[in-house]
Structure formats: C-alpha cells, structure tokens
Amino acid sequence: MKRLSFLFIVVLIILACNLPTSQTQTSVPPQTAAAMTVAVISTGTASAQPTTVPATETPIPTDTSIPTVIPTQQPPTVIKDALCWVGPGNVYDVVSAIKTGTQVELLGQGSLAGWLVVRNPIYHDPCWIESSNVHIDPSFNIASLPIVYPPPTPTPTASKTPVPSATPTP
C-alpha cells in the first residue's frame, strides 16, 4: 500500500509539472528536474529547494560567418540578330536565324577562329554562329568547350538545263 501511494504521489508531481499556470514559470533544466524526481523517490517528500546537478549541456554552435554572394554565370546570349549555319560561313546553308536576346547553349568552339557551335533554339540541332554575335559571361572558360570541325562543304549540283551543241544545224 505504501508503494502504491508513493507511486501516486510521483505521478501527481509529474502531472503537476505539465499543468498550465497563470504565473510566469521559469524553465527548469532537465538535470535539475531529474535530480528533484530522484529526491522525491528516495525521501518520499518533495523538496522546495531543487538539487542542482552540474550542467553537462553542450553549447549550441552559432554560425557567425557572413554569407558571401556567389555570382552566377549568365547563359550565352545573342546580342545581334544572327544567322545559324550548317558550317562556318556562307558556303554552307543557313539553318535558321536567331534573334537578339535569345539565350543559346554552347556546344563547342569552331576549329575556325570566330565561330561557335550552339544548339539551334528552333530545331535543337547543332549550328554555327559567328562568335561576335554572342555575349559570353567573362567567367565562362571557352577553352573548356570541345573543338568542332566543320562538315564537308556542299558539292555543286549539275545543271538540269540542256547545253547547246557546238555543231551548227543547216
């Protein structure tokens, strides 16, 4: 019977700790609350003075570093309306035109100076554009792009119009 009443008192004390009060309550560290519970169990009475236990809490680290702004790379952007070719120059067919302000994906640098290979924003296949028509973020390393060699130049097709013969007719 004595154990049952002791257990009842401990449960009441624990429940009383969780009851809301209208008075401002100070927070009791977990070590102190544990020491008070041990004191109640060993003596059978609640002490008005909490037993202090040396604090073993680990201090919470705080980040005092100042965040740095990391500039983001701007995607390559066409700065002047430009033609997109099958290869570098007017000996190749024009695939499409790219308008000013269009962002393009760089696929490579042309083996001929002054040309870049980009993903055609209309047809999504590679095409050649003059590098002077594209703004590339200065932090971008162009040397990291693969070098692309142009396709063979188109061969002229034979004319379908009849060629007059060199022999005169009487």
- How much is the pLDDT for 119? 96
77-78/115-119 β-pairing: unpaired
Do 99 and 45 fall within a single domain? no
- How much is the pLDDT for 115? 97
Q: Confirm whether 25 is domain-assigned.
A: no
Q: Along the 170 residues of the chain, how does pLDDT read in single tens digits?
A: 666 566 566 665 666 665 555 555 555 565 555 566 656 566 665 555 555 555 566 767 666 666 666 667 889 999 999 999 999 999 999 999 999 999 999 999 999 999 999 999 999 999 999 999 999 999 999 999 999 999 998 876 665 555 555 555 55
Q: Confirm whether 58 is domain-assigned.
A: no
Domain with 41, as residue range(s), is: 1-17+30-52
Q: Confirm whether 65 is domain-assigned.
A: no
Q: Where are the beta strands (DSSP E) in 14-162?
A: 77-78, 82-85, 94-98, 105-110, 115-119, 126-130, 134-135, 147-148
- How much is the pLDDT for 73? 82
Q: Confirm whether 68 is domain-assigned.
A: no
Q: Confirm whether 104 is domain-assigned.
A: yes
Q: Confirm whether 22 is domain-assigned.
A: no
Q: Confirm whether 12 is domain-assigned.
A: yes
Do 81 and 39 fall within a single domain? no
- How much is the pLDDT for 60? 73
Burial of residue 75 (CB within 10 Å: 0-12, 13-18, 19+) is middle
Q: Confirm whether 96 is domain-assigned.
A: yes
**Structural domains counted in the chain:** 2
CATH number of the domain residue 116 falls in: 2.30.30.40
Do 86 and 141 fall within a single domain? yes
Query: Could you give the CA distance from residue 2 to residue 6 in angstroms, rounded to a whole number?
Result: 6
Do 139 and 83 fall within a single domain? yes
Alpha-carbon distances of 61 from 8, 25, 36, 65, 153, rounded to whole Å = 41, 27, 29, 12, 66
- How much is the pLDDT for 154? 81
Which is nearest to 141 in space by CA: 96, 109, 104?
A: 109
* Overall pTM surpassing 0.75 (yes/no): no
